[in-house]
Amino acid sequence: MGVDANPVTVTWMGGIGIAALVASYLLVNERTRQWSDKRIVLVALAVSFSLVLSTERYLGLL
Amino acid sequence: MIELTLFAAAVLAVGLYMAWNVGANDVANAMGTSVGSRAITIRQAILIAAVFEFSGAVLFGKHVTDTVRKGIVDPAAIADPHVIALGAFSAILAAGLWITFATWKGLPVSTTHSVVGAMTGFGLAAAGLDVVNWAKMGKIVASWVVSPVVGGIVAFISFSLFRHFVIRKYPDRARLERVFAYFQLMTASFVAFAHGSNDVANAIGPVAAALEFSREGATVASKVPVPMWLLAFGGAGIVIGLATWGYKVMATIGERVTEITPTRGFCAEFATASVVLANSQIGLPISTTHTLVGSVIGVGMARGIKALNLRIIMDIITSWLATVPIAAVVSGGIFKLLMIVR
């Protein structure tokens, strides 16, 4: 199997990867570690996909 | 529309059988670690995989496919299109039989290599050594090493970094695993979607070729069209396969190679998806199945070699080495038999 690097696949994987990093930060940070699991996941996803989509738009990929 | 001949009916039946095999063996690529880590149940995994595999196949499956998978055999060297049709039929039947055996044993094999091996067998039986693209075969052999090694390295590094910067700094391990179960699932969904879009061709490509070249007046071509109904047909076969027999290889990937938790499973799946995605730009010979197994071994190695079940790993590697030659021999045999009786 191969997977073509198109905007859908790059957005999907880029978003998940960055969200995992953001979630890791939120878990260890003193101010946010008390948040619920779902809140951490949703905030991480929102931040990551905003970042990925805006970067793709800036680079003209979208 | 296809003519409803006996041969066309047989081709569709064998195509469905092959799609079933693709689903049963390959669903573990996407869902094996999620089930093994207990992030989701087998039933949930089947439901999620079914949605994403079918969507991938229908929405992103290619509408034109190679006559011969990966161009391993030059169809122009075989002048008679009806011979190609018989060869394609032999190939998908042979590949399907091998994958059935591997799935029964719980061994994750590359369905692409099975089809390529089977096509090679038909090519050799039909026209001899010169018809095979040996350079491409060399790439496939190289992928046996490149895929698991690259996947293993990426997974090892990513899990090691994650363990150093996150796991050791965060005492509540259970909570960390709960949070990462979500990301593991999202990555698994991506792999299922990508698999559906790309690997439906393993089942449907030879079917399309067999149907196309069995028509009266057909001419040999390197590409054949794939109508939407055939993509949906293949997608449905994949879903039936993963729902009925997918649990066998999922158990191997998710439990028998090394202990999987959501954080380890996420690192393994993400490493696999990243390597496969990057490869579309680099062009290394990569197999998703092999890359995933390498990634799972990689996260296991991050905890030390004793964390790995070396016996099952050796069994898996043996099955990889056997895939191309066994598929080739079986396919060549079936083709010779069909040429006698046709």
Distance in Å, alpha carbon of B157 to nearest chain A alpha carbon: 15
Would you call A1 and B288 a contact, using CB atoms and an 8 Å cutoff?
A: yes
What average pLDDT does the structure give for chain A? 88
Select the residue from B143, B186, B279 to test the A interface by mutation, using most A Cβ atoms within 10 A: B186
How does pLDDT run across B288-331, given as a tens digit for each residue?
Answer: 899 999 999 999 999 899 999 999 999 999 999 999 999 999 99
pLDDT at A1 > cutoff 50: no
In chain B, which residues have their Cβ closer than 8 Å to the Cβ of A43?
none
Q: Do the domain assignments include residue B1?
A: no
Q: Would B295 be classed as within a structural domain?
A: yes
Helical spans, DSSP H, in B68-172: 81-104, 111-127, 134-165
B102-157 per-position pLDDT tens digit: 999 999 999 989 999 999 999 999 998 888 889 888 888 888 888 899 999 999 99
Check A20 against B183: CB less than 8 A apart.
yes
Res B299: pLDDT? 95
| pLDDT of B3 strictly over 70 | no
Q: Do B199 and A3 touch (CB under 8 A)?
A: no
Q: Pick the residue from chain A with its C-alpha nearest to B143.
A: A1
**SS3 assignment, position B22:** helix
Residues from A contacting B (CB-CB < 8 Å) are 1-5, 9-10, 12-13, 16-17, 19-20, 23-24, 27-28, 33, 37, 40-41
Measure the CA–CA gap between A10 and A1, rounded to whole angstroms: 17
Counting other chains too, the contacts that B212-217 makes at CB distance below 8 Å and 24 or more residues apart are: B212/B67, B212/B81, B212/B85, B213/B67, B213/B81, B213/B82, B213/B84, B213/B85, B213/B88, B214/B5, B214/B7, B214/B8, B214/B11, B214/B81, B214/B82, B214/B85, B215/B3
Q: Report the pLDDT averaged over residues B75-93.
A: 87
Count other C-beta atoms under 10 Å from residue A49's C-beta.
Answer: 17
Burial classification of residue B199, based on how many CB atoms lie within 10 Å of its CB (0-12 exposed, 13-18 middle, 19 or more buried):
buried
Region of A47 on the Ramachandran plot (φ > 0 left; ψ -120 to 50 alpha; else beta): alpha
Please tell me the distance from the alpha carbon of residue B67 to that of residue B80, in angstroms, as a whole number: 14
Token pair of B173 as six digits: 């391990």
Beta-strand relationship, B223-225 and B64-66: antiparallel
Output the pLDDT for position A59. Answer: 85
Apex CA B6: angle with CA B2 and CA B7, to 5°? 70
B69 or B301, greater pLDDT:
B301
Total number of residues shown for chain A: 62
User: Across chain B, what does the average pLDDT equal?
Assistant: 88
CB-count exposure of residue B81 (10 Å: 0-12, 13-18, 19+): buried
At B244-299, the pLDDT tens digits run 999 999 999 999 999 999 999 999 999 998 888 888 777 766 788 999 999 999 99
Of B43-47, B96-100, B168-172, B231-235, highest mean pLDDT:
B96-100
- CB neighbourhood size of B53 (10 A): 32
At B18-63, the pLDDT tens digits run 999 999 998 888 899 999 999 999 899 999 999 998 888 888 777 6
Query: Does residue B69 have a pLDDT over 70?
Result: no
pLDDT band at B339 (very low <50, low <70, confident <90, very high): very high
**What pTM was estimated for this model as a whole?**
0.90
What is the end-to-end Cα distance of chain B in Å, rounded? 24
**Helix, strand, or coil (residue B65):** strand
Residue B217: which domain range? 6-341
Kindly determine whether residue B186 and residue A5, on different chains, have CB atoms separated by under 8 Å: no
**Given a cut of 60, is residue A26 above it in pLDDT?**
yes
Number of structural domains chain B divides into: 1
pLDDT category at A41 given cuts 50, 70, 90 is very high
Q: Which ipTM score applies to this complex?
A: 0.91
